[in-house]
């Protein structure tokens, strides 16, 4: 296989075709249904699906079957099926996965930038969704086309591109039940929705954390009252909420307390974390936009991270639980806050779980811890809206380990690296359950400062080009 020529084909496609297409995609506020209850009426998800389908249909890929599949009342998806080449059988297949729905806007974008305003600067395409992961369908079919243009033997390639991943993929099981019989014997799942430790080599994701999400509400009064009259007698709903959160984690260290939320870290994952720590060093924690951080100068005690040890940092964000408060209600704005004791406090909670912790059991335990024996007899409710078990990759087959390393060296000039990711991608467990004998190439372009879901999210264009070439090389090595 002439990877150099495949790389030239893909580079040209990215420069001339894919970057402009993704810039148009950024413009569409195709928010996931969890963030747009009227998604069907607004039509943005349908728009990005139809645009991707129209582009795919225009590709000259021999024998490709392509369709938009829509089950009643569910978000649409795209399915494609491309037969094997050079006499390889069609029984075994490579399954490409991606999604076209997006996270909401988020505040804090730099001047001149915005979630729906595509900007190309410093080799990056800024805007919501291009890297997470609207590029997937465009990269996947470009990979197939580039291999075919060079006459490289490749297996059958099928693809499923959904539009509710950012909502936890609630519609994916129904589509998997419908379409899985058409996928064949899936030998490799190529999921392009993950991250990378740097932009200098291929990163393969080995695990993903689970998640319990929900809303904690503490109610003390039926309405607000004068704080001068009531404070000292009526307990603050904020103070009660604070006490309840202290049941979950240590306020001084952030360590989650209950053993049910913890899991033993497998030896293979510890070894991979050590190797990744050697590669990344201080970048493990320097990648974040700290305020007032010494970045390790002088005593580590002056730095803001919970740890400045690279290996411990990797394990903290991939194999250990962590609680975050991601939203709040019941608080007036600063300019309208009077001397009133608020009747209730509401927090949006996000509890990340180690990959092997059962999400349903963790959800039940979190609800129990928060609601039992409420201080002062306050009314406390925890309404769970998300309980997802994480994912731990199956043992890597020797052919995939070898192919990933060779592909990374050819495309990036450095060997592949393997590391867990701290986010939650519910579809990974769904795919693992549906295809128990498949290998997983879970990778992506969400590297340092790419800020998925946040302000100033970007796609690193050069990394996307090299990643495409590396994935192409791996697909060509899938055993027949």
**pLDDT tier at 179, thresholds 50, 70, 90:** very high
Cα separation, 355 vs 389, in Å, equals 7
Look-up of token digits 């007899």: 377
Token representation of residue 122: 């410093």
User: pLDDT tens digits for 411-463?
Assistant: 999 999 999 999 888 888 888 989 999 999 999 999 999 999 999 999 999 99
By the 8 A CB rule, do 277 and 418 touch? no
**How long is the chain?**
480
Residue 302 has pLDDT above 60, yes or no: no
* Cβ neighbours of 114 (radius 10 Å): 17
By the 8 A CB rule, do 208 and 428 touch? yes
By the 8 A CB rule, do 188 and 441 touch? yes
SS3 state at 458: strand
Pairing of strands 210-219, 322-329: unpaired
End-to-end Cα spacing for the chain = 16
pLDDT at position 297 is 45
Enclosing H/E stretch for 175? helix 172-179
Cα separation, 383 vs 85, in Å, equals 51
pLDDT at position 232 is 94
* Cβ neighbours of 226 (radius 10 Å): 11
User: pLDDT tens digits for 40-64?
Assistant: 999 999 999 999 999 999 999 999 9
Cα separation, 85 vs 87, in Å, equals 6
Residue 299 has pLDDT above 50, yes or no: no
Task: List residues bridging with 294 in a β-sheet.
Answer: none
Cα separation, 461 vs 120, in Å, equals 9
Cα separation, 480 vs 84, in Å, equals 10
Token representation of residue 94: 């490579």
Average pLDDT across the chain, whole number: 95
Pairing of strands 225-226, 340-341: antiparallel
pLDDT at position 305 is 84
Question: What is the arithmetic mean of pLDDT over 266-293?
Answer: 91
By the 8 A CB rule, do 155 and 480 touch? yes
**pLDDT tier at 294, thresholds 50, 70, 90:** low
Cα separation, 217 vs 241, in Å, equals 8
User: pLDDT tens digits for 112-154?
Assistant: 999 999 999 999 999 999 999 999 999 999 999 999 999 999 9
Domains (range + CATH), the chain = 3-208+390-475 (3.40.630.10), 210-263+319-387 (3.30.70.360)
Cα separation, 376 vs 237, in Å, equals 10
**pLDDT tier at 327, thresholds 50, 70, 90:** very high
Using CA atoms of 47, 147, 128, 460 in order, give the dihedral in degrees to the nearest 10.
-160
Where do the DSSP E strands lie in 222-313?
225-226
234 DSSP assignment: B
pTM of the model: 0.90
Cα separation, 80 vs 95, in Å, equals 10
> How far apart, in Å, are the Cα atoms of 194 and each of 14, 106, 374, 404, 458?
19, 20, 40, 16, 14
Percent of the chain exceeding pLDDT 90 equals 91
* Cβ neighbours of 466 (radius 10 Å): 25
Task: List residues bridging with 382 in a β-sheet.
Answer: 216
By the 8 A CB rule, do 377 and 220 touch? no
Q: Which of 93, 60, 85 is nearest to 151 (CA)?
A: 85
pLDDT at position 290 is 86
């Amino acid at each position: 296989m002439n990877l150099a020529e495949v790389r030239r084909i893909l580079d040209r496609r990215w420069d001339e075709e894919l970057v402009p297409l993704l810039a148009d995609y950024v413009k569409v506020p195709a928010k996931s249904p969890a963030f747009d209850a009227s998604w069907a009426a607004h039509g943005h998800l349908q728009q990005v699906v139809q645009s991707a389908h129209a582009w795919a249909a225009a590709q000259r890929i021999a024998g490709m079957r392509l369709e938009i599949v829509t089950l009643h009342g569910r978000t649409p998806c795209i399915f494609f099926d491309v037969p094997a080449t050079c006499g390889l059988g069609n029984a075994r297949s490579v399954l490409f996965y991606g999604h076209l729905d997006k996270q909401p806007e988020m505040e804090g974008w730099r001047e001149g930038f915005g979630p729906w305003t595509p900007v190309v600067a410093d080799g990056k395409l800024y805007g919501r969704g291009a890297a997470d992961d609207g590029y997937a369908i465009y990269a996947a079919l470009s990979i197939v086309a580039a291999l075919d243009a060079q006459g490289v033997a490749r297996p059958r390639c099928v693809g499923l591109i959904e539009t509710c991943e950012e909502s936890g993929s609630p519609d994916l099981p129904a589509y998997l039940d419908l379409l899985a019989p058409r996928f064949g014997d899936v030998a490799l799942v190529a999921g392009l929705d993950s991250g990378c430790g740097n932009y200098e080599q291929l990163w393969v994701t080995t695990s993903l954390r689970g998640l319990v999400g929900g809303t904690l509400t503490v109610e003390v009064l039926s309405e607000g009252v004068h704080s001068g009259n009531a404070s000292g007698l009526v307990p603050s709903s904020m103070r009660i909420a604070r006490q309840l959160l202290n049941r979950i984690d240590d306020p001084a260290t952030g360590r989650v307390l209950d053993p049910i939320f913890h899991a033993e870290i497998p030896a293979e994952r510890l070894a991979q974390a050590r190797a990744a720590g050697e590669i990344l060093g201080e970048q493990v924690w320097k990648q974040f936009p700290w305020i007032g951080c010494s970045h390790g100068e002088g005593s580590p005690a002056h730095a803001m991270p919970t740890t400045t040890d690279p290996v411990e940092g990797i394990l903290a964000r991939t194999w250990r639980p962590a609680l975050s408060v991601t939203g709040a209600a019941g608080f007036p704005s600063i300019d309208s806050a009077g001397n009133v004791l608020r009747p209730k406090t509401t927090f949006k909670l996000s509890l990340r779980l180690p990959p092997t912790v059962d999400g349903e059991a963790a959800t039940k335990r979190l609800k129990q811890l928060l609601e039992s024996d409420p201080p002062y007899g306050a009314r406390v409710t925890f309404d769970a809206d998300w309980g997802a078990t994480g994912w731990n990759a199956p043992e890597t087959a020797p052919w995939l380990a070898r192919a990933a390393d060779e592909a990374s060296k050819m495309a990036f000039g450095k060997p592949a690296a393997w590391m867990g990711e701290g986010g939650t991608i519910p579809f990974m467990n769904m795919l693992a359950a549906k295809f128990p004998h498949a290998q997983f190439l879970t990778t992506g372009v969400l590297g340092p400062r790419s800020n998925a879901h946040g302000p100033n999210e970007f796609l690193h264009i050069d990394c996307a080009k090299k990643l495409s070439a590396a994935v192409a090389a791996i697909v060509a090595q899938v055993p027949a």
